[in-house]
Amino acid sequence: MTIGTKEMKEDTQQTIFDSCSGSSLHDYKISADELKEELSKFDLTENQSKVYIFLGKYGSKTAPEVCRALKIARTETYQLLAALQKKGIVLATFGHPIKFSALKLNKAVKTLVNAEKERVKSLEKNEETIIKLWDSIPEFLKEKTEDAENRFQMLEGSNPINAKLKEMISETKNEMIVLGSEKDYIRLYHSDFLDNLTTKKCQSKIITSCTEKTMYIFEDMDKKQIKCMSSNIKDEICFVMKDSEEMIFFTKNDSQSLQNISAMWTDSASLIYSMKLLFDFIWSSSKPI
Q: Give me the domain span that covers residue 241.
A: 152-288
Kindly write down the DSSP assignment for every residue of 171-202, as one continuous string.
T-SSEEEEEE-HHHHHHHHHTTHHHHHHHHT-
Q: Is 141 inside a domain boundary?
A: no
Residue 74 within a domain: yes
| pTM assigned to the model | 0.58
The residues, any chain, with a CB within 8 Å of residue 115's CB and separated by 6 or more, are 87, 88
Per-residue pLDDT, 9? 46
pLDDT tens profile 24-63: 777 788 888 889 988 988 889 999 999 999 999 999 999 9
Domain boundary among the residues 89, 106, 123 is at: 106
225 and 280 part of one domain: yes
Domain limit, last residue, from 83, 106, 129: 106
3-state secondary structure of 251: coil
**Residues 263, 163 within the same domain:** yes
CATH number at residue 89: 1.10.10.10
Cβ neighbours, 10 Å, residue 117: 10
**94 shares its domain with 210:** no
Please provide the average confidence, as pLDDT, over all residues in the chain: 85
The mean-pLDDT minimum among 10-14, 149-153, 284-288 falls in 10-14
Same structural domain for residues 171 and 256?
yes
Task: Establish if 63 belongs to a structural domain.
Answer: yes
What residue type is assigned to position 128 of the chain? E
147-158 burial, b for 16+ CB within 10 Å, e for fewer? eeeeeeeebebb
Q: Does 171 share its domain with 269?
A: yes
Q: Is 116 within a domain?
A: no
Q: Are residues 19 and 101 in the same domain?
A: yes
End residue of a domain, out of 81, 106, 131: 106
Domain identity same for 101 and 195: no
Report yes or no on 113 lying in a domain: no
Question: Do 102 and 156 sit in the same domain of this protein?
Answer: no
Let me know if residue 252 belongs to a domain.
yes
Same domain, 255 and 166: yes
Q: What is the CA radius of gyration of the chain?
A: 23
Question: Looking at the domain assignment, is residue 142 inside a domain?
Answer: no
Assess whether 30 and 157 both reside in one domain. Answer: no
**209-254 tens-digit pLDDT:** 888 888 888 888 888 899 998 877 777 889 999 999 999 999 865 5
The number of distinct structural domains making up the chain is 2
Write the CA distances from 84 to 53, 90, 109, 111, integer angstroms.
Answer: 11, 5, 13, 11
Same domain, 208 and 94: no
- The answer as to whether 75 is a domain residue is yes
What are the pLDDT digits (tens) for 127-178? 888 999 999 998 886 665 555 558 889 988 888 898 899 999 999 999 999 9
